[in-house]
Structure 1
Amino acid sequence: MNTRYWKLLPFPVALLLGACATSGNSGRESRGAGSPSAWLPRARVVDLAHPLTPDMPIFPGAAPLGVTVLGTVERDGYFIRQLVVGEHIGTHVDAPAHFAPGAATVDRIPPEMLMGPAAVVDVTAQVAQNPDYEVSPADLEAWEREHGPLQPQHLVLIRTGWAARWPDEKRYRNADAAGVMHFPGLSVATSHLLRQRQVRGVGIDTLSTDPGSNTTFEQHRDFLAGGGYHIENLADLSMLPPVGAFLVVSPLPVKDGSGAPARVFALLPPEG
């Protein structure tokens, strides 16, 4: 498991309190553990990002992380390295511009869009039966029947359980003899529904929001064209409840970037 906890430092508390005050919650969510402003100073924090390493799984055709040591404490008095990193490796954000010409690049995603209440849709049972499973509108509608309608401030996270295969690239890609990858993703119809709900973003614990066997990226083209963004290669989502977590997404603000590696934090009410 790549899930880690630590105490929330004072600096982001004021920012998040303000974000919570303006983001709102669905009716059922707001009746849960109480107003976020009541528990954020004591929040538990779950890190949903995989560490960047040269040997981590990457999408076919991408370049692995390059690391060169430029200085050491013993030799130079300080430790420093040079990184060569692609925009779409590791846990990362896809900006709208990734598939929508003229749309927002990663540095132009408004900061308020990079945080919001998490709606966690669990399809691990379906994926256990079918690695090519496509999240359907019925999956989202089932979540809404139990927790209330998805709201524009939501960040929708799809928990497939695929993160358990990280960092084994062979198992994570799950390619057959012909090189076709087999891992779960979202259907285009589901993308349409998420756009109708005007959610801020959608994240998944796989290599892509499109199913692995899809080579034309219809879900990418549809959702990103609507102004939302993706978070791919999320770490283990098992610690998150269906509602009640508050998400903070922190991609590198690469100027004119189609995307960028990101740290992603989920804030949870304190236990007890």
Structure 2
Amino acid sequence: MKSTDVIHDFMNCLNQLKAYDISPTFETNMPGFHNHPSLGIVENHRNFCHHGYYAQTLIISEHTGSHVDAPVHCHGEQATIDQLPVDCLMGPYKKYDLASFAPEAGKPVELQIIKEIEKRDEFSVQAGDIVLIDFGWDKYYKPDSSGSEREWWGKNEPGLTNEVCKYFSEAGIKAIGADTPGVDICMLDGKILSAPGHVEYFLPNNILIMEGFSRMSQAPAIGIFMALPLKIKNGSGSPIRPILLA
């Protein structure tokens, strides 16, 4: 088959899929993991009145908004973001919708619940999959609020048990992401209670961690995940624009 035919067939398939944007809007002082610097935007840095064109300046962390952690983030000798393949965040996804289980901050989700969701939604995790955990946590993401209400999302999350992280790691998944500030991290009032994926099961095994998603509930349980990290020299991670195709 000619390459032009392959491209044509690919575009025909792609055009039959709906794209779901699961990233928050990047804005000044947006909520995030409480220990990380927030985003600042110089809104009028270049403007039509003074410069003849419009451009903003961003002061941003590698771990702002929807972003990916490179293995080096928690393990100094592991790969940096610029050393990862360009397609490291492309592949089939399986979404675990936890809304009906009402997860709570400081209480990690157990393997039994993960298995129940697989049975309910009729899928199983496979090698090369990108796992998405929809905790329903984006309801606590409130960039327009102030004080403790604004900061709550970045200091509290359910996380995953050791058994869940081990289960996904042994399945050979490619990456894992969630609508919380830390995916596997169990955190209450800013105190980290456990982080098995960051420490043992995901990053040390080159399973990338993505954080800060939103509106995953709109998408089906199975589809295609696509995102591109910036090629930051020696980067510990990168902001991304994740989309689901289904």
TM-score range, shorter chain: 0.7 to 0.9
Matched, 1:83 2:58: yes
Post-superposition CA distance 1:133-175 (Å, at most 9, x none): 3122223323444534311221110011110222247346538
Q: Secondary structure at the match of 2:92?
A: strand
The correspondence for 1:96, drawn from 68, 71, 74, is 71
Q: 1:201 to 1:174 in 2, by over 3 A?
A: same
Aligned residues of 1:107 and 1:254 also touching (Cα < 8 A): yes
Matched, 1:240 2:219: yes
Q: 1:136 to 1:93 in 2, by over 3 A?
A: same
The correspondence for 2:179, drawn from 205, 226, 231, is 205
Give the aligned partner of residue 206 of structure 2: 227
Contiguous gaps of at least 5 residues in structure 1: 1-12, 18-36
Matched, 1:250 2:228: yes
Give the aligned partner of residue 27 of structure 1: none
The correspondence for 2:239, drawn from 239, 261, 266, is 261
Cα distance, 1:66 vs. partner? 2.1
Q: 1:202 to 1:254 in 2, by over 3 A?
A: same
Aligned residues of 1:159 and 1:237 also touching (Cα < 8 A): yes
Query: Structure 2: how far apart are the matches of 1:173 and 1:135?
Result: 22
Give the aligned partner of residue 9 of structure 1: none
Query: Structure 2: how far apart are the matches of 1:104 and 1:15?
Result: 36
Q: 1:83 to 1:233 in 2, by over 3 A?
A: same
The amino acid across from 1:247 in the alignment is F
Cα distance, 1:182 vs. partner? 3.1
Aligned length: 231
Q: 1:249 to 1:50 in 2, by over 3 A?
A: same
Q: Secondary structure at the match of 1:83?
A: strand
Q: Secondary structure at the match of 1:250?
A: coil
Query: Structure 2: how far apart are the matches of 1:150 and 1:234?
Result: 20
Aligned residues of 1:137 and 1:189 also touching (Cα < 8 A): yes
Matched, 1:72 2:47: yes
TM-score (norm 2): 0.84
Q: 1:103 to 1:14 in 2, by over 3 A?
A: farther
Give the aligned partner of residue 45 of structure 1: 19
Work out the percentage of aligned pairs sharing the same amino acid.
25
Aligned residues of 1:173 and 1:182 also touching (Cα < 8 A): no
Give the aligned partner of residue 28 of structure 1: none
Query: Structure 2: how far apart are the matches of 1:234 and 1:171?
Result: 19
The amino acid across from 1:91 in the alignment is S
Q: Secondary structure at the match of 1:163?
A: helix
Q: 1:38 to 1:149 in 2, by over 3 A?
A: farther
Cα distance, 1:259 vs. partner? 0.6
Q: Secondary structure at the match of 2:33?
A: coil
Query: Structure 1: how far apart are the matches of 2:142 and 2:230?
Result: 22
Query: Structure 2: how far apart are the matches of 1:266 and 1:219?
Result: 23
Cα distance, 1:116 vs. partner? 1.0
Query: Structure 2: how far apart are the matches of 1:161 and 1:15?
Result: 37
Matched, 1:136 2:110: yes
Contiguous gaps of at least 5 residues in structure 2: 1-5
The correspondence for 1:218, drawn from 186, 190, 196, is 196
Post-superposition CA distance 1:38-90 (Å, at most 9, x none): 63123211111111111211222322212223311222111122211001111
Cα distance, 1:204 vs. partner? 0.6
Query: Structure 2: how far apart are the matches of 1:133 and 1:38?
Result: 44
Post-superposition CA distance 1:174-206 (Å, at most 9, x none): 38xxxx943221122211111100101111101
My pick for the range that moved more, 181-190 or 202-211, is 181-190
Aligned residues of 2:91 and 2:226 also touching (Cα < 8 A): yes
Query: Structure 1: how far apart are the matches of 2:62 and 2:88?
Result: 19
Q: Secondary structure at the match of 2:232?
A: coil
Query: Structure 1: how far apart are the matches of 2:58 and 2:168?
Result: 35
